[in-house]
């Protein structure tokens, strides 16, 4: 089993590996961050594309590996099986199971399923503060006695109960086999164990998973068993499954749920508080129509104030005008003017200069707005508000062929279209995945593009905002409607868990924002430099002029755009926001009128996805579908541009601020 340790810090003792497991939203990440203070490394397994975060637990020689949240060991979802199969691959020494103290029976049900792996375990009941607020108290020592493993309680976000958790980790014990499964399943397990008796397999879990026809378990068996045994195991599975009316997996879930409920009843006392906590009331208000829509509008308005006003006006003014405009660029210009010839000066601070354009746009314009955007987005994400948006807009999205879950990729699209296309995986049907990707490609402005748009729009009047965002969302909606009707395939259904509304933790949001912004700068700056450099070379060689000459008739006749638009489009193709940033540059110099700016902004948004998004689209959807989408998107952008230009002219719409 190839365990590739990438970080020397986690290299020393892979045999002391602990896997961190639990439901979604139980605070696994907080626990991971709190337990492992040092630098985080990664673990990956041969043959699996996923990389797990792993790190030394401070003050011990244990390595902790984080996994994505799961609902069940017997899962259908690819994402969830990743966490589970990591146990098969990693051969951990023990499991650290994180449960939600206010959803005890649900957490225990999952824990009981994981006990089938027959590995030493520790249970940490997290978020006991929230449970206490809801009037839930849990007899931890009794629970520990019933389960036969150490049980710790914590409030990880506050750092409470982590020292004791660190202390009990070495005491991890194999749980008492508690759950008696239905007879048919127990008989199957006995038969199964007889067949594979000479193999070192992880407890009953692998047998149960094989019975549920889990692809991960089946492929594991086909790799480890000789052909004859494998064949007999498969036929045993087939005959056993034949004896069930429902699928055995449903029966399994029921059995574990019941067993968990019994334990929960025994160890927890409920005394519901007289007053419903405010956060819960707010949670309810934010997801029904009458109060939810005003709240959504308020949230968007706040977001605009923070990102659009503070970020795009104030911070950009500070960075671009003051820092770059008044200090850096003049300094670089005078130095490079003194030490070298004019070509070098043009290379540094000219029309397509390294400092004046590439660095200035990336660091002076894009980065500050992006920082504010990721910051507010992090708050919305962390507070659990996103799921409530799904509920609110579920019906609207359904008309566009998306289930309520579809809002996740769409909202993610505001952050990064490439990432959003990757998250379309959470959608259930192929049709839904195609529609979501198409809508994202069709003009979802990603955060970097959005930030430049906001900077440009700040110079125009309110009508510009209305037209740009109105057109973007209207055409997305229409395209969705059309795709829903035209594409073959089943409608998908909406089903999701709504996490509780929480006050987001500033610390973790700042950490996440910093990570995202660092990631962005590392990836975008080279591209900005490259794009500017390509344009610089093309310009120096006179090629740009030639392209502009070629494009001029089309641009002037149909779009009323100046030939310089070509540069914007070229940069857009390299990176979307680079194009828009270029546009801002040209607008500032007075080369573009207000109407032309709005028009080109929209065309840039629609025209081409950035290189990354394109690569991801091909990867996720295959050559045929991706090419088909691309062939649709490009002419579409030009046609929309032509129609808009016509409308602006006819109705004499101006955007001058």
Partner 1 sequence: MKRELEEALEAAWMVREEGNPARSKMRSICHVELTEEILKELEAEGYITFDDDSVLLTSKGQREARKIVRRHRLGEVLVRYALDVNPEEAEKIGCEMEHFLIPEMEESICILLGHPTHCPHGLPIPPGECCRQSKEVVDKTVVGLLKLKSGDKAKIAYIKPKSHNRLHRLSSFGVNPGTIIEVHQTYPALIIRFENTELAMDKEIAEDIFVWRL
Chain residues binding partner 1 by CB under 8 A are: 71-72, 74-76, 100, 102-106, 109, 134, 246-247, 249-250, 253-254, 257-258, 284, 287-289, 387, 390-392, 394-395, 398, 403-404, 493-498, 500
Contacts of 74 (CB under 8 A, 6+ apart): 113, 208, 209, 212, 214, 249, 252, 253
Cβ distance to partner 1 smaller for residue 284 or 541: 284
φ, ψ of residue 655 to 5 degrees: the values are -120, 10
Cβ distance to partner 1 smaller for residue 426 or 458: 426
Residue 324 CA to its chain's centroid (Å): 33
Cβ distance to partner 1 smaller for residue 268 or 565: 268
**Least distance between partner 1 and beta carbon 320 (Å):** 43
Q: Counting every residue, how long is the chain?
A: 657
Map residue 59 onto helix, strand or coil.
coil
**Least distance between partner 1 and beta carbon 565 (Å):** 42
Cβ distance to partner 1 smaller for residue 495 or 623: 495
Q: State the alpha helices, DSSP H only, in 169-288.
A: 183-195, 205-211, 215-224, 227-242, 248-267, 278-285
- To which residue do tokens 């998004």 refer? 613
**Least distance between partner 1 and beta carbon 368 (Å):** 36
**Least distance between partner 1 and beta carbon 404 (Å):** 6
CB atoms under 10 Å from CB of 527, counted, come to: 19
DSSP-assigned letters across all residues of 399-447: HTT--GGGHHHHHHHTT-HHHHHHHGGGSSSHHHHHHHHHHHHTTPPPH
> Residue 338 has which token pair?
């003194």
**Least distance between partner 1 and beta carbon 31 (Å):** 19
**Least distance between partner 1 and beta carbon 191 (Å):** 24
> Residue 51 has which token pair?
């990389």
Cβ distance to partner 1 smaller for residue 49 or 272: 272
**Least distance between partner 1 and beta carbon 120 (Å):** 25
Which DSSP symbol is given to 364?
A: I
**Least distance between partner 1 and beta carbon 73 (Å):** 9
Give which of 415, 409, 412 is closest to 307, Cα–Cα.
Answer: 415
Report d(CA 131, CA 64) in Å as an integer: 26
> Residue 415 has which token pair?
């952050």
Cβ distance to partner 1 smaller for residue 109 or 605: 109
Cβ distance to partner 1 smaller for residue 63 or 240: 240
**Least distance between partner 1 and beta carbon 405 (Å):** 10
> Residue 3 has which token pair?
């365990």
Cβ distance to partner 1 smaller for residue 249 or 577: 249
For residue 99, what is the enclosing H or E element?
A: strand 94-100
Cβ distance to partner 1 smaller for residue 422 or 498: 498
Q: State the alpha helices, DSSP H only, in 286-354.
A: 289-303, 316, 329-339, 342-349
Cβ distance to partner 1 smaller for residue 105 or 617: 105
**Least distance between partner 1 and beta carbon 283 (Å):** 8
CB atoms under 10 Å from CB of 571, counted, come to: 28
**Least distance between partner 1 and beta carbon 106 (Å):** 5
**Least distance between partner 1 and beta carbon 118 (Å):** 21
Let me know: does 436 contact 410? Beta carbons within 8 Å. yes
Report d(CA 436, CA 402) in Å as an integer: 7
Cβ distance to partner 1 smaller for residue 134 or 547: 134
CA-to-CA dists, residue 508 to 158, 187, 544, angstroms: 12, 48, 46
Cβ distance to partner 1 smaller for residue 45 or 385: 385
- Strand ranges across the sheet with 94-100: 3-5, 41-45, 51-56, 63-65, 17-22, 94-100, 121-126, 151-153
> Residue 245 has which token pair?
């009316």
């Amino acid at each position: 089993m190839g365990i590739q340790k990438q970080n020397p810090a986690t290299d020393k003792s892979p045999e002391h590996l602990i896997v961190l497991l639990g439901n979604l939203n139980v605070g696994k990440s907080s626990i991971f961050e709190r337990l492992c203070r040092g630098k985080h490394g990664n673990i990956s397994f041969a043959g699996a594309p996923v990389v797990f975060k792993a790190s030394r637990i401070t003050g011990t020689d244990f390595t902790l590996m984080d996994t994505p949240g799961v609902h069940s060991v017997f899962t259908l979802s690819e994402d969830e099986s990743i966490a589970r199969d990591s146990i098969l691959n990693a051969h951990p020494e023990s499991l650290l199971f994180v449960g939600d103290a206010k959803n005890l029976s649900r957490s225990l049900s999952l824990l009981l399923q994981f006990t089938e792996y027959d590995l030493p375990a520790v249970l940490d009941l997290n978020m006991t503060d929230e449970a206490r607020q809801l009037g839930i108290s849990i007899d931890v020592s009794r629970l520990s006695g019933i389960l036969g493993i150490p049980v710790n309680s914590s409030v990880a976000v506050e750092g409470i109960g982590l020292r004791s958790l660190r202390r009990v980790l070495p005491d991890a014990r194999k749980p008492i086999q508690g759950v008696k499964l239905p007879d048919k399943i127990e008989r199957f397990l006995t038969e199964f164990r007889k067949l594979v008796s000479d193999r070192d397999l992880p407890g009953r879990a692998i047998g149960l998973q094989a019975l549920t026809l889990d692809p991960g378990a089946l492929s594991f068996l086909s790799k480890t068993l000789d052909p004859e045994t494998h064949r007999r195991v498969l036929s045993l599975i087939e005959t056993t499954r034949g004896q069930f009316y429902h699928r055995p997996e449903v029966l399994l879930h029921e059995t574990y749920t019941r067993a968990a409920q019994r334990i929960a009843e025994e160890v927890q006392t409920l005394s519901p508080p007289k007053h419903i906590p405010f956060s819960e009331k707010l949670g309810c208000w934010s997801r029904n129509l009458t109060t939810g829509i005003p709240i959504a509008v308020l949230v968007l308005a706040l977001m605009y104030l923070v990102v659009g006003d503070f970020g795009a006006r104030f911070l950009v003014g500070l960075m671009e005008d003051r820092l770059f405009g008044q200090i850096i660029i003049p300094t670089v210009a005078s130095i490079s003017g003194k030490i070298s010839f004019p070509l070098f000066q043009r290379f540094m601070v000219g029309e397509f200069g390294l400092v004046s354009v590439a660095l200035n746009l990336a660091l002076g314009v894009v980065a500050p707005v992006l920082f504010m955007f990721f910051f507010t987005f992090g708050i919305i994400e962390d507070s659990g508000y996103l799921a409530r948006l799904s509920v609110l807009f579920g019906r609207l999205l359904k008309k566009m062929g998306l289930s309520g879950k579809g809002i996740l990729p769409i909202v993610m699209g505001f952050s990064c279209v490439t990432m959003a296309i990757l998250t379309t995986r959470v959608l259930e049907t192929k049709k839904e995945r195609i529609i979501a990707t198409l809508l994202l490609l069709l003009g979802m402005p990603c955060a970097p593009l959005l930030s430049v748009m906001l900077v440009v729009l700040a110079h125009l009047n309110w009508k510009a905002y209305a037209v740009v965002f109105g057109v973007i969302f209207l055409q997305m909606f229409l395209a969705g409607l059309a795709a829903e009707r035209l594409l073959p395939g089943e409608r998908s259904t909406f089903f999701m868990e709504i996490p509780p509304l929480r006050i987001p933790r500033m610390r973790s949001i700042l950490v996440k924002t910093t990570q995202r912004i660092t990631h962005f700068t590392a990836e975008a700056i080279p591209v900005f430099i490259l794009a500017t450099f390509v344009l610089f070379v093309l310009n120096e060689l006179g090629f740009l002029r030639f392209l502009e000459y070629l494009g001029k008739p089309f641009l002037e006749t149909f779009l009323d755009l100046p030939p310089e638009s070509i540069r914007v489009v070229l940069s857009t193709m390299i990176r979307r926001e680079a194009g828009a940033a270029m546009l801002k540059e040209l607008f500032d110099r007075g080369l573009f009128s207000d109407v032309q700016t709005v028009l080109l902004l929209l065309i840039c948004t629609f025209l081409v996805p950035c290189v990354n998004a394109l690569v991801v689209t091909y990867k996720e959807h295959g050559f045929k579908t991706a090419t088909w989408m691309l062939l649709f998107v490009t002419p579409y952008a030009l046609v929309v541009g032509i129609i808009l230009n016509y409308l602006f002219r006819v109705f004499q719409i101006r955007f001058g601020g």
